């Protein structure tokens, strides 16, 4: 069973994960509006990942007899100055999510909640990949420039990203 403090912190994280999905969906719409279908695809995949993350927290809380309380999702930006600015914002957002996950681990330790701490390790590791992935796109956009052939090539690369759901709880990836 979750303590009240842990339950509240996990509810806040569900909201943060849904905000993340909403943010990336907004970024997808932005990229669609400026005719960058590859970047839009990248953001669509990111949206799907964030929804999976929210549901992992939701399911975990229910397994631990917690009480999920869904709250309003804060409005997200809808415009960026450039493709690079959008991906820089995505990278900055992922660093904030990483800090949130680390704080959740701290709460789990304070509450002596070993099950939640163990559960959160997947997210600790996931955030390494999330930051690396968005930072990689920022670096490629910086190299390619924001107009012409370089941007076209990066957009073509981003179009190749596909959504791969994580394995079910307790299963290892091959």
pLDDT score for 170: 55
Q: Is residue 169's pLDDT more than 50?
A: yes
Fold of 4-158: Ferritin (1.20.1260)
Q: Is residue 33's pLDDT more than 70?
A: yes
Segment 73-99, tens digit of pLDDT: 999 999 999 999 999 999 999 999 999
Segment 89-137, tens digit of pLDDT: 999 999 999 999 999 999 999 999 999 999 999 999 999 999 999 999 9
- What tokens appear for 93 in the block? 């957002």
Residues 6+ apart with CB under 8 A from 18: 50, 51, 54, 70, 73
């Amino acid at each position: 069973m979750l303590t009240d403090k842990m339950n509240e912190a996990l509810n806040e994280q569900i909201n943060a994960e849904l905000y993340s999905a909403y943010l990336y969906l907004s970024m997808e719409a932005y990229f669609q509006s400026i005719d960058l279908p590859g970047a839009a695809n990248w953001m669509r995949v990111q949206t799907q990942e964030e929804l999976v993350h929210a549901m992992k927290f939701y399911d975990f809380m229910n397994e631990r007899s917690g009480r999920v309380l869904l709250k309003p999702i804060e409005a997200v930006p809808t415009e960026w100055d450039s493709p690079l600015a959008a991906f820089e914002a995505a990278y900055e957002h992922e660093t904030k999510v990483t800090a949130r996950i680390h704080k959740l681990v701290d709460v789990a330790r304070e509450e002596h909640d070993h099950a939640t701490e163990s559960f959160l390790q997947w997210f600790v590791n996931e955030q390494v990949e999330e930051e690396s992935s968005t930072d990689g796109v920022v670096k490629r956009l910086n190299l390619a420039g924001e107009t012409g052939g370089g941007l076209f090539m990066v957009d073509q690369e981003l179009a190749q990203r596909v959504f791969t759901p994580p394995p079910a709880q307790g299963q290892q990836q091959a």
